[in-house]
Chain A
Amino acid sequence: MQCVVTGGNVKVLAKAIHSLSRIGEELYVEPQKDGVSCCATVRNTITSSCHLALRSVNSSRSAYACFLFAPLFFSRYSIPNGKDFRCKIAIKSVQSVFRSVATLEKTVEKCHIELDEENDRLTFTLHCKHGLLKTHNLSYQDSESLQAMFDKDACTTNFRVNPRVLVDTVAHFPPSLEEVTVTVSDERMWVRNYVEDETERSKAMLTELCLASDEFDHFVVKAHNSFTFCLKELRGLLVFAESNNLPVSMYFKEPGCPVVLSVTDSVMEGNFVLATLSDGSSPPKNKSKGAHTQQSLPPDDFMNDDMDSYLIAMDTSVASSAAEPPASTLTDPCTSKLPEANHKTRTHSEEEEEEEVADGPDRPPNKKFRSLFFGSVLPPSPQMSTQPVTTQEVLASDSEDES
């Protein structure tokens, strides 16, 4: 694989990597090939499907980000023929290549990315001014494909806004604020900080902002809704959007479904998928959808609320099984818990987190990953697609016992 990035695009690439670093600790690099293995649910403006995907996901699978770069983004772009290539690299190592973004613009003339398969290395070479050449040989690990399942078209709420508006909005919230609740009606959007307990509400400082629909370039709300998500992860995208002066689009369906934030231009697209709480305003309630009626979870250091809704549907198939098109599963991703789990044949991923739950369905897997990974825990069977509900109920009841 060989890519050459020149001029201002080096800074764009660097900023994308820094944005991804705010999501997870590893950078997943995957040059996409024609057709099938592309994430077909991402409706984007890039007509060619041979783009370079840079992705990251957080450890609890509640935030995912993906940047897709079209071949035109690069001054030269060639990908390996034959087998699919994908790898993951510690994101801090890649960040160290592009450490100082401010000086990048002034000093870097081009950036050369080359794959050294013999040594399992990805080489980043920065050709800088004054005859300085910086070469970084970063070791990578083979990884599974990482794609989040989401369908922007099925969303009932979507809007597009100048990033400055969002940056100004979030500036009112302290950097330490974890979650924020967004409520939408026909004409307005409210943004306020999320406070978990009723008792805390009286002690905490509550901040609420209201934005009128005319502040947005595009504002469509088909259903009045409230959704709560993690603000910290959003900030990474906002920094990127503002520096590249790209409008931010937001897509949302209902609480519990992830909110998707996108930025696009002619040669690049970035998607941030953030999980939302099942009900934006209060502690766990009955969830009528899906088979999960998980309610009171034992408190842990994660969310007290229904954690399942806070996990993003992920496809983490290993290379060999990546060929199956996911498109058919996604008419409505939120009705059944994890549709892709029912349709795909899974083999154990190499992720450490999944190994934790690989003991099989006998014991309820680690809470944080339960609903996400039961798909990979179960052996592939033709009955999977017809009996997901049963399986889910088994897990749910174990958890209920624990509480």
Chain B
Amino acid sequence: MPLSTQCQDDDKKYVLVASLDNARNLSNILKAITFKDHAIFTATSNGLQVTVEYCKTLQASAFIQTEIFQEFTIKEDLVAFQINLTVLLDCLNIFGGSPVAGTSTALQMCYKGYGYPLTLYLEEGGVVTVCKIKTQEPEELIDFDFCSTNVINQVILQSESLKEAFSELDMTSEVLTITMSPSRPYFRLSTFGNSGNAHYDYSKDSDMMEMFRCTKTQTNRYKMSLLKPSTKALALSCKVSVRTDNRGFLSLQYLIRNDDGQHSYVDFFCCPDEEGEEE
């Protein structure tokens, strides 16, 4: 691999080195969470986590496991920094966004530690580009405290049917309510727009429903503007898990399969809309 030579001399200095033969395996996932400029990168021996937060009410994280990378070396237990996600994506796509069949951009990311920029070596067709992106002090991430013991209702759906519903959602509605129940309507998405209301009901017996575990009837409201960013992740995913806990917090987990058949995950946590929480 041509890029492995770039970092060799500085090997001892880098706390994190991650390489991918196909940079799209990273850039595609990051696109799913690019609704804010800045993201926090957290690397552990498990892999890379990129998190974006919005207004303390929405948090989206992309998880790219170690196995996805061709090389993943980390010298500390935890490496974290904040970086401009838009700039990073621009760099990852520096050879052009639209992929030409048969070619791919190889990537090597190197980070020396606190205060140093993130260095990207990108190569395609023998041409190497070096990008150095400034890093910042990582802001503290909100802990939504969403644990599985508090989960009241969970469904796992094939993304295809949910994609259809989300693409048709009435955007004049300020809220989206999600009703989950052991009885009818089982799983319902509702909007209340200018012309009237609309409901999308998924039956628990549907062949799109991979898992249905609802213990109590719950209806929670979420601001449409908060859920809209999740449609990018939905578009890339093949399955989605929807969970609500006892506080009405929503967890959307998207399973994304990349070109090589490997899995990555994108998580969205969303606070319920305060005003009219109903049970």
Contact = CB atoms under 8 A, between A and B. Distances in A.
Interface residues of B, number: 22
B69 interface: no
Interface residues of A, number: 20
A133 interface: yes
A107 B164 contact: yes
B156 to A, nearest CB: 14
B170 interface: yes
A91 B270 CA distance: 33
A95 to B, nearest CB: 10
A133 B197 contact: no
Interface in A73-115: 89-90, 92-93, 96, 99-100, 103, 107
Nearest to B203: A131
B208 A131 contact: yes
B171 to A, nearest CB: 10
Contacts of B208: 130-132
A96 B168 contact: yes
A121 interface: yes
Interface string A111-154: 00000000001000000001111111111000000000000000
B201 interface: yes
Contacts of A99: 167-168
Given A89-B195, A93-B195, A137-B198, A130 B161 contact: yes
Given A96-B170, A99-B168, A136 B198 contact: yes
Contacts of A133: 185, 199-201, 203
A93 B164 CA distance: 17
B205 interface: yes
B278 interface: no
Contacts of B207: 130-131
Contacts of A139: 195-196
A96 B207 CA distance: 25
Interface residues of A, dominant DSSP: strand
A135 B195 contact: no
Contacts of B195: 89-90, 92-93, 96, 138-139
B206 A132 contact: yes
Nearest to A139: B196
B201 A132 contact: yes
A131 B209 contact: yes
A136 B200 CA distance: 9
Interface in A372-401: none
Nearest to B209: A131
A366 to B, nearest CB: 27
B202 interface: yes
Contacts of B194: 90, 93
A262 B201 CA distance: 38
B119 to A, nearest CB: 45
Contacts of A92: 195
A137 B198 CA distance: 6
Interface of B: 161, 164-165, 167-168, 170, 185, 194-203, 205-209
Q: List 5 A-B pairs, minimum CB-CB distance, nearest first.
A: A131-B206, A93-B195, A131-B203, A133-B201, A138-B196
12 contacts: A93-B194, A96-B198, A100-B167, A131-B206, A131-B207, A132-B200, A134-B165, A134-B168, A134-B199, A134-B200, A137-B196, A137-B198
Given A130-B206, A136-B198, 4 more contacts: A96-B170, A99-B167, A130-B161, A139-B195
